[in-house]
Amino acid sequence: MAGCRHLFTAVSLAALATMTIASPAVAQQRPVRIAIKAQSLGQALRMFGRQAHIQLAFDEALLGTRTAPPLVGSMTVETGLDRLLQGSGLAVARTPQGVYVISRAAGLVPAALTAQSDTIGPVDAQADRQDDPSPDGEDVVVTGSRIRSKNLVETAPVTSVGQAEIKLQSAFSVQEVLNRVPAIKNSDTNLSNGNGRQQFDFHGLGTNRTLTLIDGQRIGVTEGIDASVIPVGLIERVDLLTGGASAVYGSDAIGGVVNFILRKDFEGLNANINYGFYNADNRDNIAAQAARNSGFAVPTGARNDGGRFDANISIGHNFAGGRGNIALFGAYSQVEPVLATSRSFSVCPITLSGQTVVCASPSSATPAGYFQALSGPAQTGAIFTNAADGARAFAPYTGTNGYNYNDAFYFQRQNTRYNGAVFLNYEVSPAIQLYANGLYLRSDATSQSAPATIQPGSVAYSINCDNPLLSAQQAQSLCGTAAGTATSVTTDVRYRFSAPQITRSRNEIYRGVAGVRGDLGSAWHYDVGGVYSTTLYRQRQLNRVDPVKVANALQVVDVNGVATCAAAASNPGCVPLDIFTTAGPSAAAIDYVSYAEGGGLFRERYEQWVGNANITGDLGEYGIRSPFSSKGVNVALGTEYRRNTYRSNPDAAYTAAFGSTANSLSNHAFDIYGEINVPLVSDRPFVRDLSFGAAIRGSNYSGVDKMRSTYKIDGSWRPVEDLLLRASYNKATRAPSIYELSSNASVSYGTLDANTLGDPCAGATPSASLAVCQRSGVTAAQYGTIPQCPDNLCTVRNGSQGLVTPEIAHTYTYGLVVTPHWLRGLSLTADYYSIQIENGIGYYRAIDFLQTCANTGYDFFCGQLVRNADGSLFSNTGSTSGYINQGYSNLGKTNARGFNFSANYDRRLGGWAKLSTSYVATLQTAKGGDLGLPDTDFNVVGLFGPYAGQGYRRYQHNVRVTLASPDSAKTQGLVSLNWRHNSGLKNSRLDGNPIFGADDASVPDAYKYLPAYDLFDLSTSVTVSRSLTLRVVVNNIFNTNPPVRPSPPLEAAERVNTSPSVYDALGRSINMGATLNF
């Protein structure tokens, strides 16, 4: 009932808001001041474009000798263009990219050009240039080509997300916006399984194979990218090229390109404010039942938390008669943390005991302690814990009341973000247009996890039997007949402190761009500029303990009735550690055993310098064209230089805690490239347009023996006006990025994620066979006697052995675009992609090496398990054995294949409303490859679990239906419904591939599948007055809960018992916002 009441409230708010929120066209309806004298229509349109700061596209031949009347006063863009075109027989339409296209009024206007289609949808460059218009006014950014031409037919599939769609989502970050795009693999870096940096991954090929641009220029070093440097309020649109574009942009565009087109020439004042929160419904589920059975408190009913606030302001001013513009932007946002224990499905990590779901074996390291003598007279195998009543006495350890790993764990991190931007543009003349801009970001995040522990490791802990902190009963239990003597007993000590471990990180980005561009006559356009970006990352660890200091603090003697560290003479700062009662140690003792600064400070810095020059020309101006086409040949030539540097600098405390070392690397690349587009045939029967294109790029990478080539070949055929067929092939050689090099050049230590099964070769009855274990370094004598990793958390060494080498990619795309003349307002696209990567550079986790070794016994994978002399896989930081490697490596082939679909349909419903619909979908047929060994092919589409992680959906879509008031309405309003669909998954162990491991018959079948998942979002907006717009958006209106599964079969890393990046795991999101324009 509580959930129904909250749903009713949310829908009521949304319905109320339909009387008060703006349509997507509001931004275009804000008046601008225009002063144009009577002149030729072409010159008047160019002047209007500059004064209104819009992009206009038209064909001079189409305008003929038409003239325009004088136009003076304050008016909207639409009104001004209508007056200029009055009586001309011409009409105007606005593309999803914000370009105004002039065409014959009697001609067809493709759906992609309708003013209402500013939602996620396809982009067809030929459709966007109906009747061969040429760009004019502001500089036009075309994603997927360096050619700036009136004849370009873009052969690569590009999808655009406009500002209107962003507002319909009420997105607080660009990552939230792009997570809705089916071709991009879901991730949310502010949730429990994120890394804090907003990056993008096309088709699951990795963020290192997706190139991110701002206005066609690189945002920075690939792995140092944090797209939150781009506040959502500054975005005009986002272009997503879902095929390869390496020949155009560089080899790191193998998987795709994300190009953020920003608002620049802004005049006036615009302010936005948004607030949102999660409205969760804590229902009963298998995880809640397991938590109650373990004695943990489980939340019930409705809960509102995770508040998010965002505010931004833009101020712009024109000067020099409209030839110059300066614009400033500032933004602030804040996200409140959410504890895992605030959701009924994530109170504790769950696993299976037989066929019963239980909380994962609680940690044996608790505030009550764990003590077992490993030497001396009392070495009997007995395990003790401190008495529950607080007395200085031991009681038998029973394994109950273990520590819950999720008790202090942040499901959603705390985050505060500051953004700033400045844009300056000045037109000296059409041939000299100066531009410069700068972006700034400071993002502060806090994550929290379980308190620090004392655990077995390579540092042996021993307790002297005359330790004055031990009672007689405790000394007798640990030391037996040696109690009261100076004998030291090696002891398995496990203990958990009280303060949560905290990681505070700061990402600070500075990015500057400057250049000059212009037109050289009617045929040529040039652009020369440079980009500098730097990312400064700081991570401070708090409340972590040093095992060496713990060992010192456990050796305590009586000095004149005062408990004193035995090593006090050589270590005067030592404070005795009293962990022999439930009262816990003193604050001074905790301060001593902690690392300096709580765990140290880690700094890293990425820098990138880019210089480029590009010139594009229309050779048709010189009569260079095919004899069968009226359109000229277009070319682009250019060069680019990039220098990347990476420096890491951990302080001494961080090095002691994690084993990280200082590192400094740099690399550079010099590229030259050329691109050509040749219209072969035009305006013939069954050949409305036939074009051929090609591009080639030569790249000289530092550290690579010779110049590597990247090239593409593409073509398009429009047999009739309604149909476009397109195809392309790209070949790229990608050198390792600076991060891939630095990752293996530096080393750090950690542990496997909670809820793993530990070492398969450990324990009295190992889960792996003797033959497999022998391949990982276990002897026959050790088999069955190896100690298991404490709490199954084996040690991980980050930084695999050896350097990675270049990979080679082949990308094929085939597609079609349909704009039927008999159904005006409809456009359809379908594209097939196939990406094949040889000698692929991949990041292999320790769990991948561990599981693949256990499943296959392959020497390469088993060789990544570096065992101690006793065969164990746990150790302390800096050890030379007792760990599992993880890091980057070249290993076999990687591939991804599938289809991308999109559709838009827009129409007016009489004079009372406008209806807009959009559909975007991905059908993935392959994502996998091989391991560089015979018979190791695999495909993870439709699977989750080993090698598939959170899962690779076979089919995903977004369908949006929007009903808006007409432009002529005095009060503008809209209501929009969005449907998100994700197909179901099954556990990869059911696939029958030995790489994934065999199916476990003891796991109930219900837990081996993840059902299809459907979510619905409701957006409403209304314009209260010309200057005020209000919005209410409810995402996941039915508060659909995520599927909850134990681990295994779920990946152990998902300690919240679901995949938080895939599902709206935190619950229904209710968001309210307002926009002010002056």
Structural domain for 206, as ranges: 161-271
Classify residue 36 as exposed, middle or buried by CB count within 10 Å of its CB (0-12, 13-18, 19+).
buried
Q: For residue 38, give the CATH number of its domain.
A: 3.55.50.30
Are 235 and 178 contained in the same domain? yes
Are 519 and 650 contained in the same domain? yes
Are 442 and 586 contained in the same domain? yes
More confident residue, 499 or 177: 499
What pLDDT shows up at residue 687? 92
Amino acid at 557: V
What pLDDT shows up at residue 126? 37
Query: What are the beta bridge partners of residue 319?
Result: 324
What pLDDT shows up at residue 800? 59
What pLDDT shows up at residue 274? 93
Are 72 and 174 contained in the same domain? no
Residue 780 has pLDDT above 80, yes or no: yes
Q: State the pLDDT confidence band at 17, using cuts at 50, 70 and 90.
A: very low
Choice among 229-238, 812-821, 829-838 with the minimum mean pLDDT: 229-238
CA distance 77 to 263: 16
Instruction: Report helix, strand or coil for 916.
Output: strand
CB 556 within 8 Å of CB 650 = no
Residue 129 has pLDDT above 60, yes or no: no
What pLDDT shows up at residue 35? 80
Domain final position from 218, 245, 271 = 271
Choice among 119-128, 557-566, 627-636, 843-852 with the minimum mean pLDDT: 119-128
Percentage of the chain modeled with pLDDT above 70: 88
Are 99 and 183 contained in the same domain? no
CA distance 580 to 583: 8
Residue 189 has pLDDT above 80, yes or no: no
Residue 77 has pLDDT above 50, yes or no: yes
What pLDDT shows up at residue 641? 95
Are 44 and 191 contained in the same domain? no
Instruction: Report helix, strand or coil for 421.
Output: strand
Q: For residue 171, give the CATH number of its domain.
A: 2.170.130.10
Q: State the pLDDT confidence band at 104, using cuts at 50, 70 and 90.
A: low
What pLDDT shows up at residue 125? 37
767 within domain boundaries: no
| DSSP H/E element including 164 | helix 163-169
Q: What is the dihedral of CA 142, 148, 150, 156, to 10 degrees?
A: -40
787 within domain boundaries: no
Rg (CA), the chain: 32
- 437-465 average pLDDT score: 88
Residue 96 has pLDDT above 60, yes or no: no
Are 109 and 165 contained in the same domain? no
CB 217 within 8 Å of CB 613 = no
Are 476 and 563 contained in the same domain? yes
329 within domain boundaries: no
Choice among 745-749, 893-897, 995-999 with the minimum mean pLDDT: 745-749
97 within domain boundaries: yes
Q: What is the pLDDT of residues 377-414, one digit of tens each?
A: 999 999 999 999 999 999 999 877 778 889 889 999 99
Percentage of the chain modeled with pLDDT above 90: 42
Q: State the pLDDT confidence band at 1053, using cuts at 50, 70 and 90.
A: low
Domain final position from 210, 243, 271 = 271
Choice among 282-291, 789-798, 867-876 with the minimum mean pLDDT: 789-798
What pLDDT shows up at residue 22? 34
What is the number of structural domains in the chain?
A: 3
Are 575 and 659 contained in the same domain? yes
939 within domain boundaries: no
What pLDDT shows up at residue 238? 86
Structure tokens that stand for 293 in this block: 């059975």
Neighbouring CB atoms inside 10 A of 938's CB total 20
What pLDDT shows up at residue 387? 93
3-state SS string for 682-721? EEECCEEEEEEEEEEEEEEECCCCCCEEEEEEEEEEEEEC
Domain final position from 652, 673, 694 = 673
CA distance 77 to 303: 46
What pLDDT shows up at residue 7? 39
Q: State the pLDDT confidence band at 11, using cuts at 50, 70 and 90.
A: very low
687 within domain boundaries: no
Q: What is the mean pLDDT of the chain?
A: 84
899 within domain boundaries: no
Laid out side by side, the sheet with 121-123 consists of 121-123, 158-162, 235-241, 256-262, 210-214, 217-218
Are 618 and 469 contained in the same domain? yes
- Look at strands 943-944 and 985-987 and give their pairing: parallel
Task: From residue 195, give the alpha-carbon distance in Å to each of 412, 507, 737.
Answer: 12, 11, 18
Q: What is the pLDDT of residues 328-378, one digit of tens each?
A: 999 999 999 999 999 999 999 998 888 899 988 778 888 999 999 999 999
Are 480 and 618 contained in the same domain? yes
Residue 790 has pLDDT above 90, yes or no: no
Structure tokens that stand for 973 in this block: 């309003």
Task: From residue 234, give the alpha-carbon distance in Å to each of 117, 174, 263, 331, 641.
Answer: 20, 10, 6, 9, 28
Residue 833 has pLDDT above 90, yes or no: yes
- 478-496 average pLDDT score: 94
Are 460 and 589 contained in the same domain? yes
Q: State the pLDDT confidence band at 191, using cuts at 50, 70 and 90.
A: low
Structure tokens that stand for 661 in this block: 């070392």
757 within domain boundaries: no
More confident residue, 59 or 1062: 1062
